[in-house]
Amino acid sequence: MTKNAKLQDWLKQAVAMCQPDRVRWCDGSKAEYDEMIDLLLRSGAALKLDPRRRPHSYLVRSDPGDVARVEDRTFICSEHEQDAGPTNNWRDPAEMKATLTGLFTGCMRGRTLYVIPFSMGPIGSPIAYAGVQLTDSPYVVANMRIMTRTGQPVLDALGDRDFVPCLHSVGMPLNPGQKDAAWPCNTDHKYIVHFPETREIWSFGSGYGGNALLGKKCLALRIATVMARDEGWLAEHMLILKLTNPAGRSHYICGAFPSACGKTNLAMMRPALAGWKVETLGDDIAWMRFGDDGRLYAFNPEAGFFGVAPGTNERSNPNAMTTLREDVIFTNCALTPDGDVWWEEMTDALPERLTDWRGQPWTRDLKTNAAHPNARFTVSASQCPVMAPEWQNPHGVPISAILFGGRRATVVPLVQEAWDWNYGTFLGSTMGSEKTAAATGKVGVLRRDPMAMLPFCGYNMADYWAHWLRIGKHSGARLPRMYLVNWFRKGAGGDYLWPGFGENARVLKWIFERCEGTAKAVETPIGRLPAEGELDLSGMDVSREDLAELLHVDTAGWLGDAAEMREYLAQFGSRVPTELWAELEALENRLKASA
Ligand code: GTP
Ligand code: SPV
Ligand code: MN
């Protein structure tokens, strides 16, 4: 329990508004987790997988209308519209509070309100931050226990300090005697709402992922970006990995890739190069601060992975497959006849018969997805066989390089290095990626996704770029090198030119050796690319033509992209830092001069 006055007051108000039948403080125990799972089993939301195949693991099926983040229902309610910026949905905070108060009034009738104190970052770490989530979803309680540090130790460390209040409801009150839905949610009203000035989160109507596990995107990104801006640090949609060369030297690398664009896979990679080692520190979010030595130190505020299942297999991500052997919550995967899960590309051969993610019989001649494309696993990071021992270091690890990358079928080469922080910030700010199933909407459309933060920045994106540029001017800073990478370049036939996954180690090796000062690069109008023979391709069968294409500087393509970037930046008006315009102009001039 706690004497925290803010928590007591807020809880009292929330209970009065939501009118739950019961209030329950979560202690984060295994017994409590088992109880939540039991509720899910009994409601029909979850199935127990065969313990001989997948011990202590469950398959949960969501409502078919509640399968991903809802970006069009995500709001940043700053006092001034300009402070949310053109890429966020803005509503007046007072009006939004009134709307939400209407929706939340009585919304937990017939249900239990769970109080989940959680810490983003190791409990008691000077750079961790606490939140408290109130929710009526046992699925959320179970997932939060895996994804964050929860329970009494969080309250003890919190004392009477401040925290981020996170109010969540699936938005489906129960009348007396009314039968509950297996996956309760609200079809008509979904609101994922952030109040950046007062640092509050209200989420209504969805039980899925980033909509409902409020420590993740809502707190550790959208609200944290605002705190980071005010306090001089960075809250980013980035993986953190440790790369060690055969001689035993290590560098830590962060990478920003949009949703479902390869963070988990890169973070857990088994390198294709003998003697090289990758260890994982985080797969989705990094908080970074300057250390006394002027370096940026990153740590992962989460304690688990909420990872994309489709595409994961023994070849693409063997470490994830090991992580998933037991104690996993799978959501929206398919079910095999022998009581295990399956998803697209899990096995080379398509199973003959399955139960699909909706619970319908599936046969391979149907040619539909058996698992939802945004099917996910929730699993504790401690189960990953390649976690770096220092992943829970309360001060983080010093970062040598930052990668930016998206899905680009054309134009962007396999890797390019920025000359300096400002150009790297420009490359990150203007990066594009083809949309994935991680959010609702049309898949495959190219959109600008600055630093992979388009859906996750809690304030005006242009001010966020200015913040990045300010970080680069930190006195005494010894800044990481910056890179743009692209594993998703396609050939004329529509196939990926680069094998990706473990083979990405070849690119990481070049980056490592750039950090060490030993690898050579060639200057091009778009940045520094690996010099002839500098990318280690030993034991790999990529054709000369494909390689040429992967490292080709597509001048016309880049000029077209630059024109799009100009249009994109223009929508932010005078808030765009002049440095970014200068970088764009210089890029265009270099491209024209080389054309
Ligand atoms: P979020 O959890 O949504 O933030 O995603 P993420 O960035 O962690 O993406 P993840 O690593 O889960 O990858 C998403 C999808 O991309 C999976 O289906 C992977 O199989 C696929 N993928 C990852 N890395 C590569 C790669 O190097 N090449 C190719 N072709 N596909 C990849
Ligand atoms: C993402 O969409 O970037 C995710 C999954 O990491 S979710 O938690 O649903 O946001
Ligand atoms: Mn993510």
- Structure confidence by residue, pLDDT tens digits, 112-132: 999 999 999 999 888 899 999
Q: Using 50, 70 and 90 to split pLDDT, how confident is the model at 365?
A: very high
- Residue located nearest, by CA, to atom 3 of ligand 1: 259
**Mean pLDDT on 586-593:** 98
For 303, the enclosing helix (H) or strand (E) is none
Indicate whether 346 pLDDT > 90: yes
Indicate whether 384 pLDDT > 90: yes
Pocket mutation for ligand 2, best pick of 146, 218, 259, 283 (most atoms within 8 Å of C-beta): 259
Give the number of other CB atoms < 10 A from CB of residue 109.
17
**Mean pLDDT on 59-81:** 98
457 is catalytic: no
What is the overall mean pLDDT for the chain?
Answer: 97
Helices (H), 159-273: 209-212, 224-231, 263-267
* Backbone Cα Rg of the chain: 24
| Structure confidence at residue 98 (pLDDT) | 98
Instruction: Copy the structure tokens of residue 152.
Output: 């009494």
Burial readout 361-372 (b: 16 or more C-beta within 10 A, e: otherwise): ebeeeeeebbbb
Give the number of other CB atoms < 10 A from CB of residue 573.
11
Q: Is 487 in the pocket of ligand 1 (CB under 6 A)?
A: yes
Of all residues in the chain, what percent carry a pLDDT higher than 70? 100
Domain spanning 5-45+70-231, CATH class: alpha beta
Indicate whether 444 pLDDT > 90: no
Of all residues in the chain, what percent carry a pLDDT higher than 90? 96
In the reported structure, the alpha carbon of residue 263 is separated from the centroid of ligand 1 by a whole-number distance in angstroms of 6
Cα(89)–Cα(371) distance, integer angstroms? 31
Is pLDDT larger for residue 443 or for residue 413?
Answer: 413
In degrees and rounded to multiples of 5, residue 400 shows phi and psi of -95, -30
Instruction: Copy the structure tokens of residue 488.
Output: 């998703």
* CATH 3.90.228.20 domain extents, the chain: 235-299+389-594
In the reported structure, the alpha carbon of residue 209 is separated from the centroid of ligand 3 by a whole-number distance in angstroms of 10
Q: Is 498 in the pocket of ligand 1 (CB under 6 A)?
A: no
Indicate whether 595 pLDDT > 90: no
Q: Which of 467, 474, 503 is nearest to 487 (CA)?
A: 503
Q: What is the pLDDT of residues 487-509, one digit of tens each?
A: 999 998 999 999 999 999 999 99
| Structure confidence at residue 28 (pLDDT) | 97
Instruction: Copy the structure tokens of residue 540.
Output: 């790999």
| Structure confidence at residue 263 (pLDDT) | 98
Q: Output helix, strand, coil percentages for the chain, rounded to the nearest 5.
A: 30, 25, 45
Indicate whether 375 pLDDT > 90: yes
Q: Using 50, 70 and 90 to split pLDDT, how confident is the model at 443?
A: confident
> Does the predicted TM-score (pTM) go above 0.85?
yes
Which protein residues have their CB within 5 A of the ion that is ligand 3?
A: 259, 284
For the CA of 284, the closest atom of ligand 2 is: 6
Indicate whether 321 pLDDT > 90: yes
DSSP letters along 436-469, please?
-TTBSS-TT-EEE-GGG-TTT-SS-HHHHHHHHH
Q: What is the pLDDT of residues 230-255, one digit of tens each?
A: 999 999 999 999 999 999 999 999 99
* CATH 3.40.449.10 domain extents, the chain: 5-45+70-231
In the reported structure, the alpha carbon of residue 411 is separated from the centroid of ligand 2 by a whole-number distance in angstroms of 26
Helix (H, G, I), strand (E, B) or coil at 274: coil
Q: Using 50, 70 and 90 to split pLDDT, how confident is the model at 441?
A: confident
Q: Tokens 């509950």 label which residue? A: 180
Cα(587)–Cα(595) distance, integer angstroms? 12
Q: Is 435 in the pocket of ligand 2 (CB under 6 A)?
A: no
Q: What is the pLDDT of residues 189-228, one digit of tens each?
A: 999 999 999 999 999 999 999 999 999 999 999 999 999 9
| Amino acid type, 562 | A
Indicate whether 78 pLDDT > 90: yes
Instruction: Copy the structure tokens of residue 555.
Output: 């001048």
> What does DSSP say about strands 376-380 and 304-308: parallel, antiparallel, or unpaired?
antiparallel
In the reported structure, the alpha carbon of residue 520 is separated from the centroid of ligand 3 by a whole-number distance in angstroms of 33
| Structure confidence at residue 1 (pLDDT) | 79
**Mean pLDDT on 297-303:** 98
In the reported structure, the alpha carbon of residue 260 is separated from the centroid of ligand 1 by a whole-number distance in angstroms of 5
| Structure confidence at residue 90 (pLDDT) | 98
Catalytic one of 261, 333, 384, 457: 261
Pocket mutation for ligand 2, best pick of 69, 239, 300 (most atoms within 8 Å of C-beta): 69
Domain spanning 235-299+389-594, CATH class: alpha beta
Q: Which of 421, 428, 462 is nearest to 448 (CA)?
A: 428
| Structure confidence at residue 124 (pLDDT) | 85
